[in-house]
Structure 1
Amino acid sequence: MAYAAIKVLLTAVLVVAISEVAKRSTLLGGILASLPITSLLAFVWLYGETGDVGKVASLSYSIFWYVLPSLVLFVVLPVLLARGFDFWLSLAIACGLTVVAYAAMASILARFGVAL
């Protein structure tokens, strides 16, 4: 239980630190947020708990394919905001379209026999 609490605390500290940096510099905040810190932590936690490099490799492969549809959020959100849409509505629309993009990616990968 203590191990899980440490994982949650470390992850939360990283997210809060990035948001604090972004208040001062959106450029630096963006760079830090774009780093695969969460993925790196997931690799470390998974390997530390299982010692299974195959699972780590599989997770990395899955992350690669699902990063692509996640980019929809980062394109749609600023476009909607620039057009004067309300923040919360823009965020909801961008998230909804991202979910659709994830479903489309899963369908495409299945069609081509990519097993994740």
Structure 2
Amino acid sequence: MDYSYLALKFLIGGGVIVGVTFLAEQVDPKYGGILAAAPITTTLAFLFTYSDAGQAITRQLVMGSFWFAIPTLLFLLTLYLLMSRYSLIPSFGGAYGVWFAAVLVMNRLLTGI
């Protein structure tokens, strides 16, 4: 295993998180949201997967990412709605609960396809 390559992956991924946080705090939360929602992380995952495992696995990853984006959208909507009524931690708990249930439903639907 190439540990320097693994470290590079962590640095790039962490850089995206730092960029989102910086934009949200110092510039405008809207721009942080644009970066957070941009397909930067998925593109990096696709590039690294393609480099490590080839096109067939990357294509499967792309389709999995497509279908499991739906639970992520439900997570974001739930978090937004819950944060208007509850503090951050309970809101995250509820949003992750909805996300997990949606992942189970989506997985069940996909195994039937």
TM-score by length of 2: 0.92
Which of residues 24, 29, 32 is equivalent to 1:26?
29
Q: Counterpart of 2:29 in structure 1: which amino acid?
A: T
Q: CA deviation at 1:35?
A: 0.7
1:47 paired residue number: 50
Q: CA deviation at 1:80?
A: 1.1
Write out per-residue CA displacement over residues 43-62 of structure 1, whole angstroms, 9 at most, x where no aligned residue: 11111223x11111111011
Structure 2: distance between partners of 1:109 and 1:95: 20
Gaps of 5+ in 2: none
TM-score by length of 1: 0.89
1:71 paired residue number: 73
* Identity across the alignment (%): 29
Q: Counterpart of 1:100 in structure 2: which amino acid?
A: A
Q: CA deviation at 1:70?
A: 1.1
Q: Counterpart of 2:22 in structure 1: which amino acid?
A: E
Does residue 1:106 correspond to 2:104, yes or no?
A: no
The SS at the match of 1:96 is helix
Q: CA deviation at 1:28?
A: 0.6
The SS at the match of 2:22 is helix
Q: CA deviation at 1:108?
A: 1.5
Gaps of 5+ in 1: none
Write out per-residue CA displacement over residues 43-99 of structure 1, whole angstroms, 9 at most, x where no aligned residue: 11111223x11111111011000001111111111111112x111001111011100
Q: CA deviation at 1:20?
A: 0.8
Structure 2: distance between partners of 1:61 and 1:100: 20
Aligned-residue RMSD, C-alpha: 1.0
2:82 paired residue number: 80
